[in-house]
Amino acid sequence: MAEIIEMPKLSDTMTSGTLVKWLKKEGDTVTNGDKLAEVETDKATMELENFEDGVLLRHYVGEGEEVEIGRPVCAIGEEGEEAPDAAGGGEGGPSEAAAGEETAGKEAASPTEEAAPESPLIPAEPAAETTASTGRRKISPLARKLAEEHGIDPARLTGSGTNGRIVKADVEKAVAEGVPAASAEPAPASAPTAPARESVREIGPPPAPAPTPVPQLESREEPVSNMRATIARRLLESKTTIPHYYLEIEVDMGPLLDLRQSINAGLADLPPEQGGARFTVNHFFLKACAEAIRRAPAINSTWAGDKVIRHGEVHLAFAVAVDEGLVTPVIREADRKGLRQIAMEANELTGKARQKKLTPAEMSDSTFTLTNLGMFGITSFFGIINPPNAAILSIGATVEKPVVVDGALAVGRRTTLGLSADHRVVDGAVGASFLQALQTVLESPSVLLV
Amino acid sequence: MPEITYRQAINDALAEEIERDENVFVMGEEVAQYNGAYKVTEGLYDRFGEDRIKDTPISEAGFIGMGIGASMLGLRPVMELMFWSFSYVAFDQIVNNAAMVRYMSGGLTHVPIVIRGPANGGTNVGATHSHTPENFMAHTPGLKVVCPATPYDAKGLLKTAIRDNDPVYVMENTLLYGNKGEVPTEEYTIPLGHAQVLREGRDVSLIGHGRSILTALEAAGHLAGEGIEAEVVDLRSLRPLDIDTVLASVARTHRVVLVDENKPFCGVSAQVSHMIQEEAFDELDAPIRRVTSLDAPAIYSDPLEREQLPNPRRIQEAVQQVLEDAPRAAG
């Protein structure tokens, strides 16, 4: 009897996952512990682990499809066994699976079609895209029918109905105002006029009358990825529900940069087994924050509605820009770790972040967050608080500037630090004492080494 | 066309059918000498005598059973229930025997009985006297159910019911008995299974039966003042049900609010809702919404009972909701 593998809940907030890539093909022999597929959740790309022994009989979903928790993704059984229909639950299940099958079939067949030059007019409508774009989008039955009639891809519409459901009025508006048709294939040369297009204006580069020397920007609409949706939801919630206030302090980075240079000079060229390492300014900031929080612990809190949680550990999150947005991996118990340990963990987490391999656990439970735009030359800014933190530190670029030292003009190396704090938990004086502690630690950085 | 009351329209239908067909007779509690608990049969005893207008003991199971037996032998009894709520003591006769005889006799024996009486709440008579069992009856294959909302329909549907060869149950409403409406003096009947569009509109279909559809009509009037054009469809006959008229309306408006004095669970509107989504799925621009009686025994408090039953305000709110679900095109 074949086992139907369903989409598991891979994170607390996950409601669906996108099957990014199949790692096992239909017909592959699989054993307990194999990775079946890569799944993108709202937080990370994770591997779908297999617990069955047998043969992967059938994929119920194609790559790129979004799958709700509990819906079937594949079947595993004995060799030669027929895969059951995906009877995994509510409406639309089996038919979706069937659509996926059909898609796979068409894809498999397409090379043959392409290889037949005498039949260039075979409709090249990308079935996979149609399936994916109409998949789980909320659209009223009537609007769906109208969109199909007008050749409009519902993925490109914005719904005005309840919960963003696309309704008749939205389709009619799109027809009137113009939205690209679902099939955006160029018209065959033998058919210079395309009457079906008359009412549907395409967004895109207009046919250029003469070759343009400069590449032009193109208008397009992109579906919202899980990560983008999570960022949007969390930051909107933060900025609209947390009373942010902002403090700024300038730090003399001279001593820290000298210290870093001296440490790197001694360690960077050594092999790892002899303690070789290379430290970035960020590593020092992370360590300095952990140290400063020890000195001004009230910043390390959470507003929980009817109570304030004062955290007993410092879990430092730091923002890492990735292709589609950003993630905030967490160094746990940073207050109990040395600079070397923090640097090592930060490097590992940053690498995982860029490959979208962070696990939800590696992004959970932060108590304070750092963000740094210094590498872009931004001198000062204020990040949005990363809930449930009470504050976020924004690190600007270190710049050389004239400063007055002991009554004389000198060249200083200065960084401006911004603190955005939640006034429900952290009053101005508390935020200020934290920044002051941080300034002290950064300007006397040798304390970071003990 | 003269205006007469709903009560008079039923009285006229009974009188005309008694005159037309010698097999037709009226039987029930206090229908004869007392002229009917709600005076629907007023004057008929004096006019037609005790052979055609029969008082019965207070025993619904007994006299309904007697009526079924009489109909099996070729008479056409018109049984009055003082309240359809009392049908529950005669459930076996009404649902089991009347509905099944034709089938179980292989079509040899018909049951041309009419059972009529008020089936409504809203009169502050308590939970046991306020039932609307049209859904119970319409559930059963072999039974026909009509719910006239107007004097015209009450007369036309009752006459058709009396002439029908199967059990037809006519659900009236004590709150409608005094309503006046135009009724032609000349002979007419209304076929079973024909819904009627009472008001045309393009924004939403209000669909229901009985007094509820008049409430919907009132709500539609208020909505028109807000620029919302509601179409009002009176089902009139629940079984057979004229789903075609319903679907045609849905195809015009694409939004549906069902209005139903039944309780929501397994109510008539639940069935209509199912049929709409099954037959007109692609015409729907918003989920079907319902305004039914609130799901509790009929509330004895008068103000609360008025809130329990569908009222214009609740219908208007439901319409606003479907218009939020699927906004109209701007401009």
Give the residue carrying structure tokens 């090249």: A124
State the smallest CA–CA distance between residue B149 and chain A in angstroms. 32
User: Looking at the predicted structure, is the pLDDT value of residue A119 above 60?
Assistant: no
**A321 phi/psi in degrees, rounded to 5:** -75, 130
User: Looking at the predicted structure, is the pLDDT value of residue A108 above 50?
Assistant: no
Residue B89 belongs to a domain:
yes
Report pLDDT for A180.
54
In chain A, which segments carry CATH 3.30.559.10? 243-449
Q: What is the ipTM of this complex?
A: 0.75
* Residue B176 and residue B229 in one domain: no
d(CA A178, CA A417): 47
User: Looking at the predicted structure, is the pLDDT value of residue A128 above 50?
Assistant: no
A165 with B326: Cβ contact below 8 A:
yes
Residue B117 belongs to a domain:
yes
Domain that holds residue B87: 3-182
Q: Does residue B60 carry a catalytic annotation?
A: yes
Domain closes at, from B116, B151, B182: B182
Cα–Cα distance list, B252 to A41, A140, B255 (Å)? 42, 16, 9
* Residue B153 and residue B265 in one domain: no
Cα–Cα distance list, A36 to A26, A60, A233, B36, B233 (Å)? 10, 13, 30, 77, 55
* Residue B147 and residue B268 in one domain: no
d(CA B152, CA A371): 77
Q: Does residue B129 carry a catalytic annotation?
A: yes
A92 touches chain B (CB under 8 A): no
* Residue B123 and residue B219 in one domain: no
Helix (H) or strand (E) holding B197: strand B196-199
* Residue B83 and residue B144 in one domain: yes
Report pLDDT for B114.
98
* Residue B116 and residue B142 in one domain: yes
**A29 phi/psi in degrees, rounded to 5:** -80, 135
The encoded tokens of residue B200 equal 């045309």
User: Per-residue pLDDT tens for B210-242?
Assistant: 999 999 999 999 999 999 999 999 999 999 999
Report pLDDT for A357.
86
What CATH number has the domain spanning A243-449? Answer: 3.30.559.10
Amino acid identity, residue B320?
Q
Domain closes at, from B150, B182, B214: B182
Query: Looking at beta carbons, which residues of chain A come within 8 Å of B283?
Result: 141-142
B329 with A160: Cβ contact below 8 A:
no
Residue B206 belongs to a domain:
yes
Query: Looking at beta carbons, which residues of chain B come within 8 Å of A165?
Result: 325-326
Report pLDDT for A110.
40
* Residue B246 and residue B272 in one domain: yes
- Beta carbons of B94 and B134 less than 8 angstroms apart: no
- Beta carbons of B119 and B133 less than 8 angstroms apart: yes
Residue B188 belongs to a domain:
no
In chain A, which segments carry CATH 2.40.50.100? 3-107
Candidates B17, B129, B231, B261; catalytic one: B129
d(CA B97, CA B79): 15
Residue B189 belongs to a domain:
no
B286 with A143: Cβ contact below 8 A:
no
Query: Looking at beta carbons, which residues of chain A come within 8 Å of B324?
Result: 161-162
- Place A177 in a pLDDT band, splitting at 50, 70 and 90: confident
B326 with A161: Cβ contact below 8 A:
yes
User: Per-residue pLDDT tens for A300-331?
Assistant: 999 999 999 999 999 999 999 988 788 999 99
Domain closes at, from B126, B159, B182: B182
A145 with B285: Cβ contact below 8 A:
no
Whether the bond into B240 is cis, omega within 30 of 0: yes
Cα–Cα distance list, B184 to B9, B17, B27, B189 (Å)? 10, 16, 27, 11
Residue B305 belongs to a domain:
yes
Residue B331 belongs to a domain:
no
* Residue B37 and residue B146 in one domain: yes
Query: Looking at beta carbons, which residues of chain B come within 8 Å of A172?
Result: 329
Give the residue carrying structure tokens 């006229």: B12
* Residue B174 and residue B209 in one domain: no
What CATH number has the domain spanning A3-107? Answer: 2.40.50.100
Query: Looking at beta carbons, which residues of chain A come within 8 Å of B282?
Result: 141-142, 144-145
Report pLDDT for A209.
53
Helix (H) or strand (E) holding A416: strand A408-422
Query: Looking at beta carbons, which residues of chain A come within 8 Å of B286?
Result: 140, 161-162, 167
A173 touches chain B (CB under 8 A): yes
* Residue B251 and residue B107 in one domain: no
3-state helix, strand, coil in chain B (%, to 5): 40, 20, 40
* Residue B168 bridge partners (DSSP): B114, B144
A177 touches chain B (CB under 8 A): no
B330 with A169: Cβ contact below 8 A:
yes
A262 touches chain B (CB under 8 A): no
Report pLDDT for A51.
87
Q: Which of A140, A144, A149, A177 to probe by mutation at the B interface, max B CB count within 10 Å?
A: A140
- Any residues with CB less than 8 A from the CB of B152 and at least 6 apart, and which? B9, B181, B182, B183, B184, B190
Candidates B17, B29, B60, B283; catalytic one: B60
- Beta carbons of B190 and B156 less than 8 angstroms apart: yes
User: Per-residue pLDDT tens for B53-88?
Assistant: 999 999 999 999 999 999 999 999 999 999 999 999
- Beta carbons of B292 and B260 less than 8 angstroms apart: yes
User: Looking at the predicted structure, is the pLDDT value of residue A206 above 90?
Assistant: no
In chain A, which segments carry CATH 4.10.320.10? 137-181
CATH of residue B97 = 3.40.50.970
Mean pLDDT score, B181-187: 96
Q: Which of A350, A448, A431 has the alpha carbon at shortest distance from A393?
A: A431
Residue B177 belongs to a domain:
yes
* Residue B111 and residue B222 in one domain: no
A377 touches chain B (CB under 8 A): no
- Comparing A138-152, B21-35, B122-136, the range with the smallest average pLDDT is A138-152
User: Looking at the predicted structure, is the pLDDT value of residue A196 above 80?
Assistant: no
Report pLDDT for B9.
98
* Residue B224 and residue B265 in one domain: yes
Report pLDDT for A191.
40
CATH of residue B273 = 3.40.50.920
- Tell whether domain A137-181 is in CATH 3.10.105.10: no
Report pLDDT for A107.
41
Report pLDDT for B53.
98
Length of chain A: 450
